[in-house]
Chains A and B, each alone.
Chain A
Amino acid sequence: MPTSSRREWLRQTSGGFGALALAGLLADQARADDPLASRPGHFPAKADRVIFLYSTGGVSQVDTFDPKPVLQARHGQTITASRWLNKPGKFDRYLIKSRFQFQKRGQAGIPTSDLFPRLGGVVDDMCMLNAMFCESDGHDKGTLAAHTGSAQFARPSVGSWVSYGLGTPNRNLPSFMVLAPVAPYTGAQAWGADFLPGCHQGTQVIPGADPLPHVKRPPGPSLQEMELGLLARLNRTHQEQHAADQALEARIRSFETAFGMQAAAPEAFDLTRESAETLKLYGIEAGTNQGFGWQCLVARRLAERGVRFLELIDVGSSANWDSHGDMADHIPLAKKIDQPIAALITDLKRRGMLDRTLVVWTTEFGRTSFNATKDHPGREHHNLVYSSWMAGGGVKGGMVYGKSDELGILPAEGRVHTHDLHATMLHLLGLDHERLTYRHAGRDFRLTDVAGEVIRSILV
């Protein structure tokens, strides 16, 4: 509907703001000057959206997705490490075997450990990346690298880049949403837009009774539809008295979207519409409003409703996967996310959404396969090689890409830097990571800085 006739319509529907907003202004919002308007990428996309799963603390690769028989056999022998606790030098260290059993799973026969039995059940949809590496073995820097490509500086998050590049098909919901009970290291900087326009920043949703602040009308009698109707008329009159102004227009639209969100967001978060069977699949009780199962199920609902980029954080900067003291600490953490993630992949698949939804799981870094004492139960930070995985959205399933060496210390082949992971994610979304740039402080910035290579052999 052209602006003028819509304005006319607005005038006629005194008090009809609700109907108008709910009828959907999507066509009108798909304008070139709307930074969030859905727009095509650089080339046809394999995936329409991303669900980015982030496990805070540093998940051990040799205990989860990267079995090391030689390490098991050489348990207790010493090696000389050239670096220990971020200090270079020569350190005699003891090899520590994994105390978790690995089984070959799926038709592809990909081994995963008993920490993730259910995830093992969907391994035919997953592509393991077993030679990930990043620049830093510090939590803050590792978190930033995984999210923004830069371990050194504040930069926009990958979700913000995707929102900036593609906009979002549902303007009744934010383009980039973060379901996180607690913040990871670096806090909201992990999903910040930094220099990109602020509408691309992640909107954090804290699971619980009030996931979106101010989305609920205040208690008591409400005249909101009337108010917004009057607001729209006053704003339109004001606008007509002045020359065209994008900002005035955008402000008017923001109220329309917000009005829509009041219904759309709670509806998206309302799990009472899910069947008992689905709740059971995710391992959650009816009435639950938190937990990773809740996050995964809400993520699927938000993905269905067009949210472009969803990030799920399982644990925050404390009591996380940072198992220095005892790898047994991985057990409850894995148990918490194993079933929900498997359910998410299963559910997306049976709804025909997995093909167009890219699921990515990663962490700051891995953990050492050696330690300072012979039977040390814990593991230290290790960024030289670790595991991540992708599923759906144009990625081959049942595949292992990249290999670490026989002791899980260094990449042996197919290494994947965080820049490469980001480049691949953008590629699947139809974005060329070298062309997705933003001019800031006098130069064009990229998510992948001056590096990054698409991992072509894992693409469908």
Chain B
Amino acid sequence: MNWSTCLSALAAFIFTGVLAMAGPAEEHFENLVRPLLAQQCQKCHGEKKQQGGLRLDSRQAILKGGDNGPAVVPGEPGSSLLIRAVSHSTELKMPAAKKLPPEQIVALERWVRDGAAWPGDGPPKAAFDSASIAKTLWSLRPVQPGAPPAVKNGAWSKTGLDRFILARLEKEGLAPVSDADRRTLLRRATLDLTGLPPTVDEIRLFLADTGPEAFAKVIDRLLASPRYGERWGRHWLDVARYADTAGDGADYPTPEAYRYRDWVIDAVQSDMPYDRFLREQIAGDLIPGRTGNDYAQGVIATGFLAVGKRYGYAPNPDFQHLDIADVIETVGRSVLGLGLGCARCHDHKYDPVSAADYYALYGIIQSTRIAFPGGEEMKRPVNLAPLVPPAEARRLEGEQALALAAARADLNSLQDERSRLDGSEWAGGPDLAFEGQTVGKAPGKPWLAMGANTVLAEAQSPFRHVHPAGKQGVRMAASQTNDGIRMALPRAVRKQPGGKIHLTIDFRTLAEPKEPGACRFYFGRGVIGSTAIDFSLSARQFAIRQAEGWKVIRTIEPGVWHTLSLALDPDKGSLEGVVGKPGDLAPVVGKILPNWDGVIDTFICDGLGHLPGKVCTHDLDNLGISTRAFGSPGGGPVVPSPVPADAAARLGQVDAQLGPAKKKADDLAARKPFAQAYAVAEGTPANARIQLRGEPDKLGDEVPRRFLEVLGGGKVAEGSGRRDLAQWLTSPANPLTARVMANRIWQWHFGQGLVATASDFGIRGEQPSHPGLLDWLTAQFIRSGWSLKAMHRLIMLSRVYQLGSDPSVDQQANDPGNRLLGHFQRRSLDAETLRDQMLFVAGSLDLTRPGRHPFPPEETWGYTIHNPFYAVYESSHRSLFLMIQRNRRHPYLALFDAADPNLSSAGRLPTITPTQALFLMNSPLVHQQSAAFAKRLLASPGDNLARVRLGMEMTSGHLPDAAGEHEALSFLAQSRQKLPAQATAPDQAEQQAWAALCRVLLISNPAMHLE
């Protein structure tokens, strides 16, 4: 055998191995035998140990056997040593420690009896080789459209497409059923393209148009309807796992997500070429030369990457790998039909995706800044994507910051003036001392106190550099951990560019303290909402909290007053100052805590210091927090400026200006300088390292950012690599993207794809039922300029699409799953269509675009895992505009099996349950719509028979036969008879009888199905 025949023999071996995997023997092996051998046998008979010279980790090795000869004789369990050993029927008993449970022995026997199949068996531990796997995978071969095949019944085919279907049916000896009647066809096409039933007028027009182009005209009309983009946009939203909440533990709302939803609808409506549709969603923000709305739309499109399920609590890297995993898995499933997720932990067992491939893509997504929705820890969204280009965004942000700084400066000077006028200005800072408090009591407003805290004269600090000499301080007696004092500052202090924040406080512990614990001084926003800095005081130590933990910075002398005085420099993130007593001042240098958001409006002293246990009694005084510097410790007394003579008059003027000035500053702070999207932007480009077994803290080799090797690999040109990724995904050299979408379009028309696993074109996915047709469709799709509308025309004008929906007896017997498409598959209306149809025929459907959901304003958000966001908003808009909640799902959408937005959804999995029936029988929605529908019918001209006919036609597209008419009319008559006893007025009884009839029509099988 020469080298090349050897190679091809190997390829053939792998190929047959893979094909054979579909068989039951192979499944039996994969499901029962492989795990059993791995768990029970290979520890002693595997790669590491070969007891008795035997390995049980490949078929080859098992057939070769060990010291006692072959372990297995395929087909002969009785002569196989392995079976005898595990049965403990001879001397050789394995596993020695414990006999296998009988079902495992049976599983092994069956495996040997059936020939000891071992799919994909090669030399044990072969290295991952994507190229050889790729050769075996049909979906990776280039698209090879052949001509439509010859058929016996040439007259039957309307289009080339039909010949693919018919040829296969003829081969299987099956005949297609006859065509659907025209009413059925119109209802089918209208529900299919718009998600709404045809109106009675539309039915009349179609029935009246007997020309050969009648149905083509209907298709054009439907494709031009704005309802089309809503319907087919919703299909893509399934794939894109769209929801209006983030799905983190607290399920934060994502109010800007609707922009992406609307973008999808508009893109589909305008028949944006699918390759561009994808490129926009991957990297629409990076397409050069765009301005204005074009730029904004490109940014919004990348919402595709952002709208997935989130895991984090704050915008830090702790859970980032899970968010990135969601993006990679979604892109793989939705665009390529490949499950990339498995490669997060190991080279993919079946598909041609290695862990290196995975982390190559990981690098691209990690180099992308994804909007953070808000979470338990950081309860506000950040990193939303500006809808203006970066330079413009910086300019607008700068203007906004300047305007805000000016407004705050105005406010500050007014507040400063006021504190001078009313005499409360002491030493340049607000009065944060205890002078206003009652001696002998706990500090009252603006303080909050818990535990044994008392304002006392003997707790007066001797220092004079902060406030003028006072008469009292606070004594905090040995306390519980959560006891302490807290103050919300009358004026929040904020970081300003180039400005510093000054903090000071005096303290002493009582002489001879015994308690081991430490108290904490907290400076930050809110009650531990965002910490700027923490200090801690124990009997003999003073500590500062830094990102890495507590750090003791000096010793403390019990019974002696100390002072802390420091300046925070938010620009540098640093702080410096001194702590100690006059003549013994030690420098303090450190960093502001990393997650601080720039505001200090709260001071707390409690028992949560650097040492656990009870805290010794301590005194506090002279707290100061200001953007202006205080005096130096040990410096002289501070004297308040004299109160001006005209104080009273000026005070009135200042007070009148204060309110508007504050409002102006607050409004500016709340205003966003530009609209934003829940989308992505470029981050810091960097390659990722492989995470061993998917654990982010076990890192392997770095992988350059690139595409899947099996699809050409490639190299990132610039930035994150998203632009390159967008190109790779839509490159003509990549056969998956167009094939996957051609199949999805087919599936959305017929209810089932040519490949039944629409998001899995990998080796474990299903093979196409009509491979030739799929490639032909794919080629047509690309040739049409990736046009969905062209595909709709191509498919819907085929004969296959127009067949009746009842299988023949032959078909029922030989093709129960209708894989051969001998008839059109009836299906239940999905959740959205069912509700939309109800509202539509009842005349209650609001067909406008609703925009943003009425979420609570952002400043009120405080959602946590224990108190998550949840809302159901009433709406009379189309169901795709309902607020889709991720964690606790919308009750209607969940009940009727709408897409679960936690993962990319390949298709709906409809169920039929009694709880759905209860909803249809008893819910307010159905009762309200049936009442509205009844009113509408009663208002229509004609007699009751005409109304019955109208009602049936509106809900099912068909007119009742005589028996049906009779049923309905006698139902009305009986209802009227039954009702007067219960109802109050005759017209009410009439209305109720009709509402009851309408209820039946709305939930009857002819209305609830697309046929």
User: Can you list the 4 inter-chain pairs with the closest CB atoms, starting with the nearest?
Assistant: A442-B764, A198-B911, A221-B982, A258-B917
Nearest residue in B to A454 (C-beta to C-beta)?
B101
Determine the chain B residues whose CB is within 8 A of the CB of A233 once the complex forms.
Answer: 967
A103 in contact (CB, < 8 A): no
Task: Give bound CA distance, A220 to B995, whole Å.
Answer: 13
> Are B967 and A230 in touch, CB under 8 angstroms?
yes
B39 in contact (CB, < 8 A): yes
Nearest residue in B to A171 (C-beta to C-beta)?
B914
Nearest residue in A to B806 (C-beta to C-beta)?
A243
B139-147, B292-300, B409-417, B973-981: which lies at the A interface? B973-981
> Are A442 and B760 in touch, CB under 8 angstroms?
yes
B110-118, B486-494, B1000-1008: which lies at the A interface? B1000-1008
Nearest residue in A to B27 (C-beta to C-beta)?
A444
Determine the chain A residues whose CB is within 8 A of the CB of B927 once the complex forms.
Answer: 218
Among B826, B897, B974, B992, the residue within 8 A (CB) of A247 is B826
Name the distance in Å between A451's Cβ and chain B's nearest Cβ: 8
Determine the chain A residues whose CB is within 8 A of the CB of B918 once the complex forms.
Answer: 212-215, 258, 261-262
Determine the chain A residues whose CB is within 8 A of the CB of B806 once the complex forms.
Answer: 242-243
> Are A434 and B917 in touch, CB under 8 angstroms?
no
Given contacts A203-B915, A238-B1004, A247-B826, contact A437 B975 (CB under 8 A): no
Q: Mark A361-379, 1 if CB is under 8 A from B, else 0.
A: 0000000000011000000
> Are B760 and A441 in touch, CB under 8 angstroms?
yes
- Besides A213-B918, A450-B35, 8 more A-B contacts (Cβ < 8 Å) are A198-B897, A223-B996, A238-B1004, A243-B806, A254-B917, A262-B918, A262-B921, A373-B612
Interface pairs (29), CB distance under 8 Å: A154-B902, A183-B888, A198-B897, A212-B918, A214-B915, A223-B992, A227-B921, A230-B968, A234-B964, A235-B1004, A237-B963, A239-B1005, A242-B805, A243-B807, A251-B917, A251-B1008, A254-B914, A257-B917, A262-B918, A317-B865, A318-B866, A318-B867, A434-B107, A441-B760, A442-B757, A442-B762, A444-B31, A450-B39, A454-B101
| Beta-carbon contacts under 8 Å, B944-972 to A | 963-964, 967-968, 971
> Are B917 and A216 in touch, CB under 8 angstroms?
no
Q: Mark A17-57, 1 if CB is under 8 A from B, else 0.
A: 00000000000000000000000000000000000000000
Q: B interface vs A, CB < 8 Å?
A: 27, 30-32, 35, 39, 101, 103, 107, 249, 339, 350, 612-613, 757, 760, 762-765, 805-808, 812, 826-828, 865-867, 887-889, 891, 897, 902-903, 909-924, 927, 963-964, 967-968, 971, 974-975, 978-979, 982-983, 992-993, 996-997, 999-1000, 1003-1006, 1008-1009, 1011
Given contacts A230-B971, A442-B764, contact A238 B1005 (CB under 8 A): yes
Q: Which of B760, B891, B912, B922 has the most CB of A within 10 A?
A: B912
Among B31, B911, B920, the residue within 8 A (CB) of A437 is B31
| Beta-carbon contacts under 8 Å, A421-460 to B | 432, 434-435, 437, 441-444, 450-451, 453-454
> Are B762 and A247 in touch, CB under 8 angstroms?
no
Task: Give bound CA distance, A218 to B928, whole Å.
Answer: 11
Determine the chain A residues whose CB is within 8 A of the CB of B762 once the complex forms.
Answer: 442
Task: Give bound CA distance, A154 to B979, whole Å.
Answer: 50
| Beta-carbon contacts under 8 Å, A194-221 to B | 197-199, 203, 212-218, 220-221
Determine the chain B residues whose CB is within 8 A of the CB of A454 once the complex forms.
Answer: 101
Determine the chain A residues whose CB is within 8 A of the CB of B914 once the complex forms.
Answer: 171, 174, 254-255, 257-258, 261
A277 in contact (CB, < 8 A): no
Nearest residue in A to B107 (C-beta to C-beta)?
A434
Determine the chain B residues whose CB is within 8 A of the CB of A437 once the complex forms.
Answer: 31
Task: Give bound CA distance, A205 to B817, whole Å.
Answer: 36
Among B891, B967, B971, B979, the residue within 8 A (CB) of A221 is B979
> Are A223 and B993 in touch, CB under 8 angstroms?
yes
A188 in contact (CB, < 8 A): yes
Task: Give bound CA distance, A89 to B120, whole Å.
Answer: 42
> Are A140 and B249 in touch, CB under 8 angstroms?
yes
| Beta-carbon contacts under 8 Å, A233-265 to B | 233-235, 237-239, 242-245, 247-248, 250-252, 254-255, 257-259, 261-262
A109 in contact (CB, < 8 A): no
Task: Give bound CA distance, A132 to B927, whole Å.
Answer: 51
Nearest residue in B to A234 (C-beta to C-beta)?
B1004
The contact size tier of chain A is 35 or more
Determine the chain B residues whose CB is within 8 A of the CB of A79 once the complex forms.
Answer: none
A228 in contact (CB, < 8 A): yes
Determine the chain A residues whose CB is within 8 A of the CB of B805 once the complex forms.
Answer: 242
> Are A226 and B996 in touch, CB under 8 angstroms?
yes
Determine the chain B residues whose CB is within 8 A of the CB of A250 once the complex forms.
Answer: 912
Nearest residue in B to A260 (C-beta to C-beta)?
B914
Among B764, B765, B974, B1005, the residue within 8 A (CB) of A226 is B974
Name the distance in Å between A387's Cβ and chain B's nearest Cβ: 25
> Are A199 and B911 in touch, CB under 8 angstroms?
yes
Name the distance in Å between B11's Cβ and chain A's nearest Cβ: 23
> Are B982 and A234 in touch, CB under 8 angstroms?
no
A165 in contact (CB, < 8 A): no
> Are B919 and A187 in touch, CB under 8 angstroms?
no
Q: Mark A60-75, 1 if CB is under 8 A from B, else 0.
A: 0000000000000000
Nearest residue in A to B34 (C-beta to C-beta)?
A450
> Are A223 and B978 in touch, CB under 8 angstroms?
yes
Determine the chain B residues whose CB is within 8 A of the CB of A214 once the complex forms.
Answer: 915, 918-919, 921-923
Nearest residue in A to B311 (C-beta to C-beta)?
A140
Name the distance in Å between A220's Cβ and chain B's nearest Cβ: 8
Task: Give bound CA distance, A432 to B102, whole Å.
Answer: 12
Task: Give bound CA distance, A214 to B918, whole Å.
Answer: 6
Given contacts A221-B982, A251-B1008, A261-B918, contact A226 B249 (CB under 8 A): no
A224 in contact (CB, < 8 A): yes
> Are B888 and A188 in touch, CB under 8 angstroms?
yes
A331 in contact (CB, < 8 A): no
A286 in contact (CB, < 8 A): no
> Are B912 and A235 in touch, CB under 8 angstroms?
no
> Are B764 and A231 in touch, CB under 8 angstroms?
no
Name the distance in Å between B916's Cβ and chain A's nearest Cβ: 6
> Are B613 and A373 in touch, CB under 8 angstroms?
yes
Given contacts A441-B757, A441-B760, A444-B31, contact A213 B765 (CB under 8 A): no
> Are A199 and B924 in touch, CB under 8 angstroms?
no
Name the distance in Å between A265's Cβ and chain B's nearest Cβ: 9
A397 in contact (CB, < 8 A): no
> Are A258 and B982 in touch, CB under 8 angstroms?
no
Determine the chain B residues whose CB is within 8 A of the CB of A171 once the complex forms.
Answer: 914
Name the distance in Å between B925's Cβ and chain A's nearest Cβ: 10
Determine the chain A residues whose CB is within 8 A of the CB of B897 once the complex forms.
Answer: 198
Name the distance in Å between B623's Cβ and chain A's nearest Cβ: 30
Determine the chain B residues whose CB is within 8 A of the CB of A372 once the complex forms.
Answer: 612
> Are B911 and A226 in touch, CB under 8 angstroms?
no
Task: Give bound CA distance, A380 to B690, whole Å.
Answer: 33
Determine the chain B residues whose CB is within 8 A of the CB of A443 once the complex forms.
Answer: 30, 764
Task: Give bound CA distance, A444 to B1000, whole Å.
Answer: 41
Name the distance in Å between B900's Cβ and chain A's nearest Cβ: 9
Task: Give bound CA distance, A244 to B809, whole Å.
Answer: 10
Task: Give bound CA distance, A140 to B313, whole Å.
Answer: 14
Determine the chain A residues whose CB is within 8 A of the CB of B30 once the complex forms.
Answer: 443-444
Among A216, A234, A373, A453, the residue within 8 A (CB) of B967 is A234
Q: Mark A386-407, 1 if CB is under 8 A from B, else 0.
A: 0000000000000000000000
A159 in contact (CB, < 8 A): no
> Are A231 and B1000 in touch, CB under 8 angstroms?
yes
Determine the chain A residues whose CB is within 8 A of the CB of B978 once the complex forms.
Answer: 223, 226
Nearest residue in A to B805 (C-beta to C-beta)?
A242
Among B889, B911, B922, the residue within 8 A (CB) of A218 is B922
Task: Give bound CA distance, A221 to B992, whole Å.
Answer: 9
Task: Give bound CA distance, A250 to B765, whole Å.
Answer: 29
Task: Give bound CA distance, A217 to B923, whole Å.
Answer: 8
Name the distance in Å between B979's Cβ and chain A's nearest Cβ: 6
Name the distance in Å between B136's Cβ and chain A's nearest Cβ: 15
Determine the chain B residues whose CB is within 8 A of the CB of A58 once the complex forms.
Answer: none
Name the distance in Å between A127's Cβ and chain B's nearest Cβ: 20
Name the distance in Å between A332's Cβ and chain B's nearest Cβ: 18
Determine the chain B residues whose CB is within 8 A of the CB of A234 once the complex forms.
Answer: 964, 967, 1000, 1004-1006
